[in-house]
Structure 1
Amino acid sequence: MNSVDLHTLTGAYVLDALEPAERAAVERHLADCASCAQEVRELSETVTRLGLAVAAQPGPALRDEVMRRIGTVRQEAPTTVRSARGGHVRPRWRWAPNWALAACFAAAVALGGVAVSQYEQAREAREQALQARIANDAVGAVLASADARVSTAPLRGGAVGTVVVSPSRNQAVFAASGMPAPPSGKVYQLWYNDGGGRMRSAGLMDSGTPAAATLMHGPVDAASGMGITVEPAGGSPRPTSTPVALLAFPTA
């Protein structure tokens, strides 16, 4: 412990990488060394800013270059500082061991990665909430339209399907009661039946809540009805399975 220059432990101190005895020694040193105390404040602020920064994850090339230079580039030229207790001036070398520099870099990258991940999760959650609100408003508008027409029909397995069509809005809403969840890795996909065997995608049902009302994507136009198929996750450009349900749109 006596052979270690306490001036070189500021980086490890900020990263909480010291043994209890070393940490206590550094804290005693900071009370007498204004220069080291200032360095600790600056390093703490830097690590915090790096952790909160919204930036791209550094690539492998950057990390390799930093690790290569750690062993060859000195941290900073020597400076002179005035002792907090006396008036004499003494030289101070601001060196840090290679492992401390590497630890600082690794911690900065880790904190930055966590911040980016948390930011992306929050952004995705906000976007999902916004899309859900827009969809709910659109569903409500179709159901509340003065010319809304409703048709109900039994589905396979005892489920019941209901479709509401609004000619003035050129939109349709579908809901199912008692419909089982699709098989693992599959989704329910809705289709407009344009006649003559032509089926046009109308989007996916929410696999987590198959009983919820779903705004069918795209305009109704001349579609006479709708169908439901089981498709791979993400949906298909055209039906790949026999429809599990076919419903005619209400005409009046």
Structure 2
Amino acid sequence: MTSGELHTLTGAYALDALDTDEEREAVERHLAHCAACAHEVRELSETAARLGLAVAEPVGQELRAEVLRRIADVRQLPPVTVPAGRSFGTALGTRRLPRWALAASLAGAVTLAGLAGLQYQRAEEARDRAVRAEASAEAVAMVLAAPDARVSTARLADGAVGTLVHAPSLDRAVFAAAGMPAPPAGKVYQLWYDDSGTMRSAGLMAAGTTSSTTLLEGPANRSSGIGITVEPEGGSLRPTSAPIATMAMPKA
């Protein structure tokens, strides 16, 4: 590998993108004797680090469409070939690619890769949320349609109305609330099963709405009823406040 070829590998070395260990070792030996390339590697490494720590911003659909259009329209430049006996720097008329241009190319490549990864991650998260919501809706429908489903309705605090549905054959329960006042800032409504006086978490009610339907988490058959408490965001392992409402499991 010639000295001229080693000059062209500083960008790949800075991104740890060399194909072989032999190439990396050759570049490192070259950097020990080439102050210009060593300085270039430091600059490119610092640029890559700053880009990696940058806060990602949402990308508009227009930019994505333009990038995809240009990928199909713009041809890639052919590689520069070096005649036998001439160094890469001589083939370019002793001019090397300016460091700012190489850094800009690196920044563009890293940015596009980051944008693509961000879009993929958000799409995957949206898909997972949709799958979970669909599974929960199907489970709620099964409880409500169960042949042995039992239903009770009660008036809760502040004029809210709660409906509890229990399907013993499925060992599941569903709680629906209407007219619930918004919890205090930084708080959520948490549902609990009452297992003979021991409260067991049954999940959180949906935030930001006065009416919601919640598939209670965990088995329902061993519980005598449910309670609702006000808890910190994210919920608690044990109730931290007295129940604002309780309901007994509906009887057959």
What interval of TM-score do these two structures reach, taking the shorter chain for normalisation? 0.5 to 0.7
Task: Report SS of the residue matched to 2:174.
Answer: strand
State the match for 2:207 in structure 1: 207
Say yes or no: does 1:79 pair with 2:79.
Answer: no
The amino acid that maps onto 1:192 is Y
CA positional deviation for 1:77: 8.6
The amino acid that maps onto 2:116 is A
| CA deviation string 1:156-190 (max 9, x = no partner) | 00000000000000000000111112222111110
The amino acid that maps onto 2:152 is S
Say yes or no: does 1:136 pair with 2:110.
Answer: no
CA contact (8 A) 2:201 2:217 kept: yes
Say yes or no: does 1:248 pair with 2:231.
Answer: no
| CA deviation string 1:49-86 (max 9, x = no partner) | xxxxxxxxxxxxxxx99741759xxxx99724xxxxxx
CA positional deviation for 1:236: 0.5
Aligned residue pair count: 176
The separation in 2 between residues aligned to 1:203 and 1:104, in whole angstroms, is 49
Label 1:177 to 1:77 Cα distance change in 2 as closer, same or farther (>3 A).
Answer: closer
The aligned runs of 1:1-252 (5 Å cut-off) are: 67-68=41-42, 79-80=82-83, 91-92=91-92, 95-195=96-196, 197-252=197-252
CA positional deviation for 1:95: 2.6
The separation in 2 between residues aligned to 1:66 and 1:159, in whole angstroms, is 67
The separation in 1 between residues aligned to 2:150 and 2:212, in whole angstroms, is 18
The separation in 2 between residues aligned to 1:208 and 1:249, in whole angstroms, is 27
Q: Which residues of structure 1 form unaligned runs of 5+?
A: 1-63, 81-89
CA positional deviation for 1:208: 2.6
The amino acid that maps onto 1:68 is R
CA positional deviation for 1:104: 1.1
| CA deviation string 1:104-123 (max 9, x = no partner) | 11122222222211111111
CA contact (8 A) 1:67 1:102 kept: no
Task: Report SS of the residue matched to 1:209.
Answer: coil
Label 1:70 to 1:242 Cα distance change in 2 as closer, same or farther (>3 A).
Answer: closer
Task: Report SS of the residue matched to 1:188.
Answer: strand
Task: Report SS of the residue matched to 1:101.
Answer: helix
The separation in 1 between residues aligned to 2:44 and 2:117, in whole angstroms, is 26
Task: Report SS of the residue matched to 2:193.
Answer: strand
CA contact (8 A) 1:188 1:229 kept: yes
The separation in 2 between residues aligned to 1:233 and 1:222, in whole angstroms, is 27
Moved more, 186-195 or 106-115: 106-115
Label 1:118 to 1:146 Cα distance change in 2 as closer, same or farther (>3 A).
Answer: same
Cα RMSD (Å) of the superposition?
Answer: 2.6
CA contact (8 A) 1:78 1:92 kept: no
Label 1:70 to 1:211 Cα distance change in 2 as closer, same or farther (>3 A).
Answer: closer
Q: Which residues of structure 2 form unaligned runs of 5+?
A: 1-37, 46-78, 84-89
The amino acid that maps onto 2:243 is P
Normalised to the residue count of structure 2, the TM-score between the two structures is 0.64
CA contact (8 A) 2:143 2:167 kept: yes
The amino acid that maps onto 2:201 is S
Task: Report SS of the residue matched to 1:236.
Answer: coil
| CA deviation string 1:17-58 (max 9, x = no partner) | xxxxxxxxxxxxxxxxxxxxxxxxxxxxxxxxxxxxxxxxxx
| CA deviation string 1:133-157 (max 9, x = no partner) | 0000000000000000001000000
The separation in 1 between residues aligned to 2:150 and 2:241, in whole angstroms, is 29
CA contact (8 A) 2:202 2:217 kept: yes
CA positional deviation for 1:209: 3.1
Q: Percent identity?
A: 55
Label 1:201 to 1:70 Cα distance change in 2 as closer, same or farther (>3 A).
Answer: closer
